[in-house]
Amino acid sequence: MKSLASLFFTALLFLASESFAQQETIDYCEREATAEKTKKELKPYRYSGAKIKKLKIKEYNQIQETVIEMLYDTKYKIIFNRSGVPDGQTVDVIIYDKPYGKRNREIVWKSTDGQDLIELETESLEGEYDKLYVEYEMPAYEKEVPDGVRIAGCMVMTIGYDNMTFHTDRGSED
């Protein structure tokens, strides 16, 4: 009887693992191609870094915040690549001057038109910032997802800096 019980639990484990195996992920993200394409658009700025955010489709609203630490007197170009966002999901990119929860937080830039490739040069912003608070606003996914299917994607943000920019008359009390 003991061996029968052991056989039963083995079978249960097997069935459980099979049901996990049936979970299929549809990933819209082609990271390397997306990152490479985005990087090419940086010129003449020099590559500083990239943040590839994995997106998971959910039935509720999500916000992913990325803080960009910037150096004074340095111009930046920030490129967002939405080509890895799953069909049916929108991602609005909104940049604030302060983190969520801070008083008098203001939007300094936003892109809600759904274009795949969007660019921002910090020189075009009205204020001067040492940090930018980028938010990806993702409304709840509205399409029906078949059982056993998980949908994923990504947003790629690539940052370039202009190393030739340098002024000594800013950001200090002297």
Partner 1 sequence: MKHKFIRIIAFALTASLFAACGDGGSDQKQKLENFEEEKQSDKSFNPDDVERTRTVVFPSAHEIMTVFKNAGLKYKPDVTNDVANKSNYNTRFQKALAVGFYTSGLAYHVIHNQSAEAPEYLKVILELSSEIGISGVSADDELVQNFENSMGDEEKMLEIMSDIQSETDAYIADNDMQDWQMLIFSGAWLEGMYIGVKANDSYNTGDLSRRISEQMSILENQISVLESTDLQGEDFDSYMNSLKELEELYNSYPEVQNAEGVPKLGVNQLKEISDQIKTLRNSLI
Please count the other Cβ atoms lying within 10 Å of the Cβ belonging to residue 137.
Answer: 16
Closest distance to partner 1 from the beta carbon of 104 (Å): 15
Closest distance to partner 1 from the beta carbon of 124 (Å): 19
Closest distance to partner 1 from the beta carbon of 80 (Å): 13
Going from the C-alpha of 170 to that of each of 122, 124, 128, 130, the distances in angstroms are 16, 17, 10, 12
Burial 112-130, CB ≥16 within 10 A → b, else e? eeeeeeeebebeeeeeebe
Closest distance to partner 1 from the beta carbon of 50 (Å): 5
Residues 6+ apart with CB under 8 A from 19: none
Of 65 and 116, nearer to partner 1 (C-beta) is 65
Closest distance to partner 1 from the beta carbon of 35 (Å): 5
Amino acid (1-letter code) at residue 6: S
CA–CA gap between residue 48 and residue 167 (Å, rounded): 20
User: What is the binding site for partner 1 (CB under 8 A)?
Assistant: 4, 7-8, 11, 14-15, 18-19, 21-22, 24, 26, 31-32, 35-36, 39, 46-54, 58-74, 87-88, 100, 130, 137, 139-140, 142-146, 148-149, 151, 154, 157, 159, 161, 163, 166, 168, 170-174
Q: Is the dihedral of CA 29, 31, 33, 37 positive or negative?
A: positive
CA–CA gap between residue 10 and residue 4 (Å, rounded): 10
